[in-house]
Structure 1
Amino acid sequence: MKTLKYIFAIVILSISFVSCSDDKDDDPIISNPVEGLTKIYEFPSADHSVEIYSEKTSLEVGYNEISIRIKDMASNKYVTNAAPTWMPMMHMETMEHSAPHSMLSNTEESSVYKGYIVFQMAGNDTEYWEVMLNYNLNGQAMEEMMKVDVSQPANGLNKTQVFMGSDNVRYILAYVNPKDPKVAINDMQAVLYKMENMMSFPLVENYKITVDPRMPGMGNHSSPNNEDLTYNAVTQMYNGKLSLTMTGYWKINLKLMNANGEVLKGEDVTELNPESSLYFELEF
């Protein structure tokens, strides 16, 4: 009899445990759509606030992925139908100009608007960047002027090139990936824009960027199985392969070629010419 009571007690405990487990499994999992990002700015207003997030801790010269959220204070919720547009503006002592940038979209998460800006230069005590943000809030058109600090990369490596091509067009070429390079064949990405005027920077399509990575401190040796960067209409970036055979400092020598195969900037690396005038730098 005692044995039966003991078995019955175990069965009851087991059912209770399973029931509790099932209840926990039914609890909704709340995900954070900006997990892994740093909130670098918040611009509060009377009835809402604009938050700016980045993978970096600050904005730098070059390619910056940026996420924006708009919080409605009345509902304490983030806005999902803001339809924002933006325009970066550099205020210099004698002139103003914009910068290459993507559109803002919220295709992955309805309350997070993502895009990127390629800042060509850093700010200083008298010259500064602003991002003008236009958006809708409860049916009302809004505009926010957000002053942001842009500095040179802390590691001092060159991942952005602003130059005049042999066709007398000014180009902006910026490194995108790999963010965390490995001793492997890495997927490589870059963006290429041209300067039409001080406010217009259209994408450049269907050019080619040759890739020749070298280690200056190791006899300037190269690496096998690199693939030149070619334009991808889906990503609107230049995609290729970057082979890195060891850790250390690498100079990624580049040549920019137009659709006719004419070299607009950069040179081949030879014994007499150890580096190209167009390059990115990596160290890992």
Structure 2
Amino acid sequence: MKSYKFLVIALFCVITSCTIDKTDYQAEIGSEVPEYYEFKEAVSLSSGNYKISIEALNGTFFKGYNELHLKIINIQTNQDVSSSEVTFLPILSAADGSKTSCPHNYNLQYVPTNKYFAGYCVFTSESTKANSWKLYVNFTANNQKYDISKDISVEKQSNKNLNMTAFTGKDDKQYVIALVSPQKPKVSENKLVAGIYKYNKPTAPAGVFPDPSQYSYSQVRGYTLKLDPRMPEPSMGNHSSPNNQDLTQQNDGLYHGVVNYTMTGNWTLNLIMINQNGLILKGTVVPTDFTPGEEGVKSELYIDTLF
């Protein structure tokens, strides 16, 4: 009897994976999930004899994780500036006048082989009429300090494989989890990379705006992100897949694991975040029941994807 039951479930998965819905997902991939690998200038700033160029993938700032390359050029000599100390601070201004930031590198590091300062920024919202982003960049050249700021536009992230989520953990701290890769997964085991960041609550009153101590974030250290991917749509029965690996932190500071997508379509990455002391800070176990015809239950901590 058990064998018959498992056979019925297997047949159901095969049949539903070949429906028109799947074809629609494939068409959506072709039009909405581009892959970007070329860095282009997203914004430029200038002060005195210096031009600052900030590059991002496809020359666009997106909501979520953005790898950034910052170049400083002396426009008189056309030479790159490499010895400068560079700081980078994004500020989000809301309609009510409040100001916040997002996970970012404040002190950028120079990469000699590529001749740029490397960093990242996890924009937590796109730009709107009510919410606007501004970058504050400081650098020192020839013993002179330069402070520059400029409004920027942050676009909606149309690639759900690069989604993010922000939440408060059971330790009352504010966290952000952002997917970094893959941009476009395959029907197979995929290397999954994410960043986990924590807001560092200020310990002293604010100084002169923009005081970086009021907007500080850091990568969390030594956490584990337990992973349970499911297809939550009613036709999929909230089934999972084998050979997934939880995300753990590697030398680059990011969290690496494996997600096995067994077919194209909507997937939910159900997560449980555990700190270095083994305490669950967010997330719940997802039931293992196969539920055809019903929308699947999600963890209290999850990120939706689609490919």
Q: With the length of structure 2 as denominator, give the TM-score of the two structures.
A: 0.74
Relative to structure 1, the CA distance from residue 186 to residue 157 in structure 2 (aligned partners, 3 Å threshold; closer, same or farther) is closer
After TM superposition, the structure 1 stretch with the greater mean CA deviation from structure 2, 221-230 or 257-266, is: 257-266
Identity %: 32
Alignment pair present for 1:210 and 2:212: no
Partner residue of 1:150?
154
CA shift for structure 1 position 133: 1.0
Relative to structure 1, the CA distance from residue 261 to residue 244 in structure 2 (aligned partners, 3 Å threshold; closer, same or farther) is same
How many Å separate the matches in 2 of 1:137 and 1:73?
Answer: 13
Pick aligned residue for 1:123 from 120, 124, 127: 127
The code of the aligned residue for 1:281 comes to D
For residues 98-140 of structure 1, the C-alpha deviation after alignment (integer angstroms, 9 at most, x for no partner) is 2211242222535211110111223322431112111123332
Alignment pair present for 1:71 and 2:73: yes
Alignment pair present for 1:230 and 2:251: no
CA shift for structure 1 position 156: 6.1
Partner residue of 2:207?
none
How many Å separate the matches in 2 of 1:68 and 1:196?
Answer: 25
Q: Is the 8 A contact 1:80 1:110 kept in 2?
A: no
How many Å separate the matches in 2 of 1:249 and 1:57?
Answer: 28
Partner residue of 1:241?
258
The code of the aligned residue for 2:113 comes to E
Structure 2 SS opposite 1:106: strand
Deviating beyond 4 angstroms after TM superposition, the runs of 4 or more aligned structure 1 residues are 155-158
After TM superposition, the structure 1 stretch with the greater mean CA deviation from structure 2, 266-275 or 162-171, is: 266-275
Alignment pair present for 1:181 and 2:185: yes
CA shift for structure 1 position 208: 1.1
Structure 1 SS opposite 2:111: coil
Q: Is the 8 A contact 1:158 1:281 kept in 2?
A: no
Q: Is the 8 A contact 1:256 1:264 kept in 2?
A: yes
Matches within 5 A, 1:96-115: 96-102=99-105, 103-107=107-111, 109-115=113-119
Aligned residues: 249
Partner residue of 2:24?
none
Partner residue of 1:50?
52
Q: Is the 8 A contact 2:248 2:256 kept in 1?
A: yes
Q: Is the 8 A contact 2:231 2:240 kept in 1?
A: yes
Q: Is the 8 A contact 1:63 1:175 kept in 2?
A: yes
Pick aligned residue for 2:304 from 275, 281, 284: 281
After TM superposition, the structure 1 stretch with the greater mean CA deviation from structure 2, 169-178 or 131-140, is: 131-140
How many Å separate the matches in 2 of 1:117 and 1:188?
Answer: 19
How many Å separate the matches in 2 of 1:160 and 1:172?
Answer: 7
The code of the aligned residue for 2:305 comes to L
Q: Is the 8 A contact 2:71 2:117 kept in 1?
A: yes
CA shift for structure 1 position 256: 1.0
Relative to structure 1, the CA distance from residue 158 to residue 45 in structure 2 (aligned partners, 3 Å threshold; closer, same or farther) is closer
Unpaired stretches in structure 1, ≥5 consecutive residues: 1-34
Relative to structure 1, the CA distance from residue 231 to residue 84 in structure 2 (aligned partners, 3 Å threshold; closer, same or farther) is same
